Amino acid sequence: MKLALYQGPSPSGNLEAAFETIEGKLLAAAAAGADMVVFPELFLPGYNQRQLHPSLAQPQGGPWEAQLAVLAKSTGCGLTIGWAERDGAQLYNAASTFDRHGRRLAHYRKLQLFGEMEQSVFIPGADYELFDLDGIRAGLLICYDVEFAPHCGALKKRGAELLLVPTANPAGFEHVSDVLLPARAVETNMTIAYANYCGSDSGLTFGGSSILLGPDGGILVKAGKTEALLIADLDGCADIDPTRISTQYHDFREAPGRHDQL
């Protein structure tokens, strides 16, 4: 399976431009043989749009999801994308995955809300999401979620082999791509796809550095600080030298002492 990551500027509330970008990147990725494109966090309507999230957020099954399904089917390329979801009076920082036939495979609500903007607008999700993607057991996380080893470990325990992670990581936090994500991949033996923004949105500058990591923590493809459409073939992960795959997930044992003494 070929997986693509789109790193680009936030639509900043311009929904017409957002859907034009989505369609264009799906077409380009499909032409290169990709099966799926991962877009950044809250791409609809844009990440740092505190005032627009409440007014533009949509329910599951609404016009945004319907249009995304049509685009996936018409281009022949699946997508995973972050968006602002409304459920009654509550707002969620959410992400959905559609396959190349336009079928929604998964929907997830971010567990770890980051910073004052997210915490003042959204409420946290309550559960993990796993699904089958072309024979691969996959899970969804959003940005800050993947920085927590227990979340990645919980998905691994449930059988995940691949994590798709829309993100909006600010400049100055490049250690996430450089240090934390390789550690998460090695710890769990999972492939991790992390799609970030570049540029800025309402005064917030993003760090780029979108990355796709193999289960040994090796970089399959990585972006710089500018717009990019990255594509990598995950089939190559099967050829990784087994001695490079960590066994710590299987080797881990709890300390036999009393935990309440720590």
| Spatial contact of 134 and 141, defined as CB atoms under 8 Å apart | no
Range 245-250, long-range pairs (CB < 8 A, 24+ positions): 245/189, 245/215, 245/216, 246/186, 246/187, 246/189, 246/216, 248/186, 248/187, 249/153, 249/156, 249/187, 249/188, 249/189
Task: Give the H or E element holding residue 15.
Answer: helix 15-31
Active site residue 73: no
Distance (Å, rounded) from C-alpha 67 to C-alpha 73? 10
Closest CA to 80 of 32, 20, 130, 40: 40
Active-site residue, selected from the candidate residues 41, 65, 118, 147: 41
- At 154, the amino acid letter reads A
Active-site residue, selected from the candidate residues 85, 118, 143, 152: 143
Active site residue 143: yes
Task: Give the H or E element holding residue 154.
Answer: helix 149-157
Active-site residue, selected from the candidate residues 25, 110, 156, 222: 110
What is the chain's alpha carbon radius of gyration, rounded to the nearest angstrom? 18
Active site residue 116: no
| Spatial contact of 45 and 84, defined as CB atoms under 8 Å apart | yes
Q: Which residues are catalytic?
A: 41, 110, 143
